Each structure stands twice: as structure tokens, then as C-alpha cells.
A = this chain, B = another copy of it.
Amino acid sequence: MNPADSAALRLFDKHAASLQAARHACLERGWFSLFQETPDRHPGGEAAREAAAAAFRSQLGRAFDLDQPGTLDRVGDEVSPYTCEPLGIDYPLADVDALFAAARQALPGWAAAPPNARLGVCMEIVERLYADVFLNAQAVMHTAGQGALMSYAGSGTNALDRGVEALAYAQAAMADVPAEAVWERRFGSTTLRLRKRYRLVPRGVAVCFACATFPTWNAYPAMLASLATGNAVLVKPHPTAILPMALAVRACREVLAGAGYSPDLVTLCCDTAAQPVGKRLVKHPEAAIIDFTGSARFGAWVEGNAAPALCYTETSGVNTVVVESVDAPEPVVRSLAMTMSLFSAQMCTSPQNVYVPREGVRCGRGRIPPDEFGAALADAISALAADHRRAGQIMAAIQSPGTLALLDEMTESGRSRGRLLRESAPYPHAEFPAARTRTPLLVAVETGAQDLYGEERFGPVGFVITAADRDAALAEAAADARRGGAITAFVYSTDPAYLARAEQAFSASGAQLTCNLTGPMPLNFAAAYSDYHVTGLNPAGNATLTDLAFVASRFRITQVRTPEPA
């Protein structure tokens, strides 16, 4: 065994208990994490946070130090949604063929390493990313526009949880294949004995597309699933959110090199909005796996064009809420207001369409008419927005200037097609006066305006939709999910029969359903090890992050049969 493999197996031993606990969590699906989700409990303490802030400041205006092959030029024009100023960081613009070639060259040693050796190195990468989680949080804040806490937890520890979850599945899928077997059978008067050795062979080079608003969330699990199963990974960041992925790639390269493997197993493949390389990457003859998070339009192209490469996508969707009946409206309205405001609804799980029956939301013996419910929701959002410090924490910043144009367009359409329950407006951010902020726009419409709400309107745009009755509300919401895609769905009802129908409807539409949830947890909170994120049953994506199917195809099995004396 080569020395790198021996050392990596010791890394595996170091992390074996964590992986075992993670696998157990995948099967039990209760709460589990290897990390501190609260920044002040991070083992690095306040010093780590301050060091990261300093490192981030010193990175601004400078070249990102990433020594990888095939650099043709430097690119980078990220702008912080908080300062609206360029970060001034430039990154290598690589020759795509050179990255694939370097990955191919790096592969044999990695592919030949025992699966546990690779898992050990991957867990070291996770450990490194956790050590660097404050710096990643700064990078996510100032590219994606997330708030400080979400940047730390959602894009840091929670994303790492999802990475470890993927590793636990990879370990399980690989362990399902024994290293060898003896097969013995009689043929006529002869007993034949064959020794069979099985080998796990990676697919080859994976391409991981990261999105602009939540880059690490799907990228960590995809990268780690591919690496653990022996593949190399080209990471293609969104041109407006390169830094988080550049940091991840650098960490991977350093850990790989430190463990004695080629750093070229993980490289960064930047592009620019003017000269995108996405299609070229997907159609590259060396691309064996495509992980894609991004727009529905490009995602559909990827799904249709990736073959013969494997393809795992998460795109976008129209997440819905049906409010049929409540014990009390206030907690529901508060939860909806908070969730629809969270990161200005720039999350794949943010609800957009709130359906209310025309006869009103049943509440005890009374009914809350749609207008009244819409007004209450608008008021609750406005109350959040009015508390600027809290708005800053919850709504955070708007990632893309394009979202401002969308808000203008939706405001106009909302006025002409329905009624504005509340207008979107900038709110003053307590810490960053120049921050690109907008409070949620809330539009009241009737069913039938699907051209308005039937697709994802990415950003703080919500619709309160009056349906003919409660059954129509459910049917329309489920149809939105089926047609427009959906990751989440929410229903409020005190009627068990109605809830049962909702469960059927959203299961058939492939949306994860949450019933009658109120309280401090954002409704759309997705927990690694517990929630199966994306079903693959509607246009919001074709894969679940993470289940066995997400990892089991990333490697293949070859075998050698040799007779031995019976």
C-alpha cells in the first residue's frame, strides 16, 4: 500500500466514529450534527471569528491565491450586496481542457486508494472547512447577501452536515460491495472454485455547478460524494459568488496535497456572465457526472443534455402554502411572515404562493376572509421590516440587482392583475448603510393568474391567492408544485381528513409537506440527516440530497475472476 493510503486510513480511523454516528443518523433521521450551529460555540472561539474577519478584509482587492493548472487569465467582478462595492478579488480563469486533463492525471492514485482512505481525507476536508467556517461566512455574506447567522450556520455548519451525510451514504453504498468472494459450483463431475475480486471504479471527472445565493449548500455534499467515491471534481461557481467556492476548492486542494494525493482532484473553473462555460462543461467528453444547482431554464438544458454523464439537479420551484383552518391566526401569520422574509425569500425552500379559500380561513366558529388574512400577513411582514435591526438579521440583502427589476415588474403586474397587499421597499440596514435591501412584496390575486405566480419569482415576492374553496386551494397548490416544481409545501388545517388529502396531493406532486407548523423555527428549515431535500418527482430537481441514489451511481464495480483449487 502506498504511504498516502496508509496515512489516509489513519485519518479514517480518526473520523470513523463520526461517520458511524452520521450513518446511524441517516437511518434514524432524528436531529444530528457534528458541528456547533451557534457561532459563539465554535471551538475556535472569538479569536477564530476575528481572524476570519481580518483575513476577509485583507483578501479584498487582491488576487485569490490558488495555484492550479491551466490558468489563462484572471477574472472576478463580485460585488458585495452589503456594500454594493466590488470585492476586487480576481481568480484564475482556467483552460477547461487543461482542468479536465489535470483531473484525469490526478485520478489513478485517488481511484486506487481504499474507499476508507478517501473517506478519511474527505472528513479531513470537512474538518478544515469547519475550522474555516467564519471566513466562509464572510465570503457568503458578501457574495450571496445572506445574513451573518445564516452565512455561518446555513452556509457553514448545516452545509457541512449535508456533506457528512453524503459521505455516510457513500460509505454505505461502497460497503455494500465486498472486496472479494469465493464462488464454488459443480459442473458435471468437477467442482469449480473462482476467487472474485471486486473493485470500485469512479466514473471520472465530476462537474459541480454552485448557485449564487446558497453556493455551499448543495456543493459541499455533491463535491464530497464525488470525491469519496473516487472521482475528481471541477467546481464551477456562479460568477457573482466565486469566493465561497474558491475557499472550498483551496481547502480541498491543501488537504489532498497534505495527505499525499494530487491537489488537481479539485479545481476551480470560473467563467464570466459574458463568456459562460457551463454548456461546454456539460458536453465535455471527459465530464462523467454533473451536479447542478441553479436556474430552472439552464437546469432543464442540463438534464436533457448531460447524457452520457450522470446528472443531479436542483433548480427552482413554486413553494406553496394552503391555509384552510387554524386554531388561531396569529402564530400562523407570524411564521409565514418570518419565513417569507427570511433571506428575502432567496432560498429554494421559501414559500411563494399562499392559498386561502374564498369563504375564508376557518377559525373556531368563524372565518377569516382572504382580504383580512392577506392584510394580517402584510402587517406582520411590515412589523418585521419596521424593526431595522431584526429586518437586517432576517431579510438580509438582495443578491442580484436583477431582483430589483423583478420586484418592479411584479409590482406593476400585481397592481394590474390583482392588488398590492404591501409594497417592497428598501429598508435601512443597521450595519451596512449601502446594503441592497428590499422588503417583501405581497400581492393579492385570484386563481387563474398562473402566468404571474405559476413560476418561481426569485426574491421577496409573495402571493396571497384566493381559491374558489378549500379543495380548489389544495388542488391549485399541488398543481403549482407539479407544473412549476416545488421543494416544500405547507398546509394549515385543523381537519384531519383535509390534512390527509393534502398529504396525498403533495406526495403525488413530489413536495415535502409541513403541517400546522408555527413557532420559532423558520418553516422551511431543512435538517441534514432528517429531511430528504428535493424529491426528484417534479421540475424542482431530479435528485435528492442526500439518499442512496445520490451516491450509488457515482462509482461502478469491476471484477476479476480467477480459478483456484477447489
**A154-201 contacts to B (CB < 8 Å):** 172-173, 176-178, 181-185, 187-188, 190, 192, 194, 196, 198-199, 201
CA distance A29 to B30 in the complex (A): 33
Contact of A178 among B27, B506, B561 (CB under 8 A): B27
1/0 contact string of A445-468 vs chain B (CB within 8 Å)? 000000000000000000000000
Residues of B within 8 A of A26 (CB): 176
Quote the shortest CB–CB distance from A366 to chain B (angstroms).
Answer: 24
Q: A363 contacts the other chain (Cβ, under 8 Å)? A: no
Quote the shortest CB–CB distance from A44 to chain B (angstroms).
Answer: 22
Listed residue (A26, A185, A303, A517) with the most chain B CB atoms within 10 angstroms of its CB? A185
Residues of B within 8 A of A172 (CB): 176
CA distance A308 to B305 in the complex (A): 10
Tell me how many chains of this kind the complex includes. Answer: 2
Quote the shortest CB–CB distance from A319 to chain B (angstroms).
Answer: 14
Quote the shortest CB–CB distance from A552 to chain B (angstroms).
Answer: 4
1/0 contact string of A523-566 vs chain B (CB within 8 Å)? 00001001110011100001010011100110011111111000
CA distance A515 to B194 in the complex (A): 10
Residues of B within 8 A of A196 (CB): 29, 530-531
Contact of A190 among B184, B190, B520, B527 (CB under 8 A): B520
**A40-64 contacts to B (CB < 8 Å):** none
Residues of B within 8 A of A273 (CB): none
Q: A120 contacts the other chain (Cβ, under 8 Å)? A: no
Residues of B within 8 A of A559 (CB): 512-513, 531-532
Interface size of A by CB at 8 A reads 70
Contact of A31 among B184, B308, B531, B552 (CB under 8 A): B184
Quote the shortest CB–CB distance from A245 to chain B (angstroms).
Answer: 26
- Whether the pair A558, B512 counts as a contact (CB closer than 8 A) is yes
Listed residue (A28, A511, A521, A542) with the most chain B CB atoms within 10 angstroms of its CB? A521
Quote the shortest CB–CB distance from A357 to chain B (angstroms).
Answer: 21
Residues of B within 8 A of A177 (CB): 532, 547
Residues of B within 8 A of A520 (CB): 187-188, 190, 192
- Whether the pair B192, A521 counts as a contact (CB closer than 8 A) is yes
Residues of B within 8 A of A517 (CB): 194, 561-563
Residues of B within 8 A of A542 (CB): 308
With A176-B27, A187-B520, A188-B520 already in contact, the answer to whether A530 and B560 are too (CB < 8 A) is no
Q: A36 contacts the other chain (Cβ, under 8 Å)? A: no
- Whether the pair A547, B557 counts as a contact (CB closer than 8 A) is yes
**A103-125 contacts to B (CB < 8 Å):** none
Residues of B within 8 A of A203 (CB): 537
1/0 contact string of A299-326 vs chain B (CB within 8 Å)? 0000110111001000000000000000
With A199-B507, A559-B513 already in contact, the answer to whether A178 and B29 are too (CB < 8 A) is yes
Q: A364 contacts the other chain (Cβ, under 8 Å)? A: no
With A192-B521, A537-B558, A547-B557 already in contact, the answer to whether A28 and B181 are too (CB < 8 A) is yes
- Whether the pair B514, A561 counts as a contact (CB closer than 8 A) is yes
Residues of B within 8 A of A560 (CB): 503, 506-507, 512-515
Contact of A558 among B30, B506, B530, B552 (CB under 8 A): B506
CA distance A300 to B172 in the complex (A): 31
Q: A519 contacts the other chain (Cβ, under 8 Å)? A: yes
Q: A400 contacts the other chain (Cβ, under 8 Å)? A: no
Q: A92 contacts the other chain (Cβ, under 8 Å)? A: no
- Whether the pair B558, A535 counts as a contact (CB closer than 8 A) is yes
CA distance A188 to B184 in the complex (A): 61
Residues of B within 8 A of A503 (CB): 560
Contact of A562 among B29, B188, B516, B532 (CB under 8 A): B516
Quote the shortest CB–CB distance from A23 to chain B (angstroms).
Answer: 10
CA distance A143 to B510 in the complex (A): 42
Quote the shortest CB–CB distance from A525 to chain B (angstroms).
Answer: 9
Residues of B within 8 A of A553 (CB): 536, 549, 553
Quote the shortest CB–CB distance from A11 to chain B (angstroms).
Answer: 25
1/0 contact string of A120-138 vs chain B (CB within 8 Å)? 0000000000000000000
Quote the shortest CB–CB distance from A492 to chain B (angstroms).
Answer: 11
- Whether the pair B514, A184 counts as a contact (CB closer than 8 A) is no
With A31-B184, A307-B304, A532-B198 already in contact, the answer to whether A548 and B176 are too (CB < 8 A) is yes
Contact of A547 among B28, B187, B552 (CB under 8 A): B552
- Whether the pair B556, A548 counts as a contact (CB closer than 8 A) is no
CA distance A519 to B190 in the complex (A): 8
Residues of B within 8 A of A506 (CB): 558, 560
30 interchain pairs, CB-CB under 8 A: A26-B176, A27-B176, A27-B178, A30-B181, A30-B183, A31-B183, A31-B184, A176-B547, A181-B530, A187-B520, A187-B521, A188-B520, A190-B519, A192-B520, A198-B532, A199-B507, A304-B308, A506-B558, A507-B558, A513-B561, A517-B562, A517-B563, A532-B559, A536-B556, A537-B556, A547-B552, A547-B557, A548-B548, A552-B552, A553-B553
The 7 closest A-B pairs by CB, nearest first: A29-B181, A549-B552, A187-B520, A507-B558, A549-B553, A548-B552, A514-B561
User: With A515-B560, A535-B558 given, can you name 9 additional A-B contacts, CB distance below 8 Å?
Assistant: A28-B178, A177-B532, A183-B530, A196-B531, A201-B537, A304-B308, A507-B560, A513-B561, A517-B561
